[in-house]
A = this chain, B = another copy of it.
């Protein structure tokens, strides 16, 4: 059952499991990730697949996330306990193997990190994280600026700005900030990356 499936088979499986707006968002992330991958010399098929499937565990209702994570012995901390929605990323990393026939650590990791980021992100991790923020159906005041950076800035500059905007947004909403997000951003700054103008 977990044999390698084609992209179209995965797409059909996903369409049957996500609500239409989430499925459209997933297609948007897949295409945006493939474009970014081409720009930054990353395997575009891996990026497209990771983009397509990044939200594949969003099919679980919020209340079920912790039970699903516990069932798979996925470790998590107090932030995820308080915001179980975050677990969809970790569960997604497992679900692509269980259900979509993806046996690729790089894709699983990019899905695992697509919401809060993490230390030592790969180029694929960065592309999926960023594509999720700017795919065509996203609409918020800073999205055009972030789309412009996707054409003009370096991958690390884009990510730094994206993480910065995300942190400002989450802070202003009065939500918990995940330490991995802070770590990902600090790491870029400590390596000398600067916010693009």
A residues at B contact (CB < 8 Å): 78-79, 82, 160, 164, 167-168, 171-172, 174-177, 179, 182-183, 185-186, 189-190, 194-195
Bound: A53/B174 CA distance, A = 32
State whether A176 touches B164 (Cβ < 8 A). no
Q: How many identical subunits does the complex contain?
A: 2
State the Cβ distance, A67 to closest chain B Cβ, in Å.
21
Chain B nearest CB from A69 CB (Å) reads 18
- Can you give 23 contacting A-B residue pairs, CB < 8 Å? A78-B186, A78-B190, A82-B189, A82-B190, A164-B171, A164-B174, A167-B167, A167-B168, A167-B171, A168-B171, A171-B171, A171-B185, A174-B189, A174-B194, A174-B195, A175-B189, A176-B186, A176-B189, A176-B190, A177-B186, A179-B182, A179-B183, A182-B182
Contacting residues, chain B, for A82 (C-beta < 8 A): 189-190
Q: Is the CB of A177 within 8 A of B167?
A: yes
Q: Is the interface of A mostly helix, strand, loop or mixed?
A: helix
Give min CB distance, A162 to chain B, whole Å.
12
- A160 — nearest CB in chain B belongs to which residue? B174
A185 to B171, CA, bound (A): 9
Q: Which B residues are in CB contact (< 8 Å) with A168?
A: 167-168, 171-172
Nearest 10 interchain pairs by C-beta: A174-B195, A167-B171, A164-B171, A168-B168, A177-B182, A176-B186, A182-B182, A176-B189, A168-B171, A82-B190
Q: Which residues of B contact A174 (CB under 8 A)?
A: 160, 164, 189, 194-195
For the A-B complex with A164-B174, A176-B190 known, give 20 more contacts whose Cβ atoms are closer than 8 Å: A78-B190, A79-B186, A82-B189, A160-B174, A164-B171, A164-B172, A167-B167, A167-B168, A167-B171, A168-B168, A168-B171, A171-B171, A174-B194, A176-B186, A176-B189, A177-B185, A179-B179, A179-B182, A179-B183, A182-B182
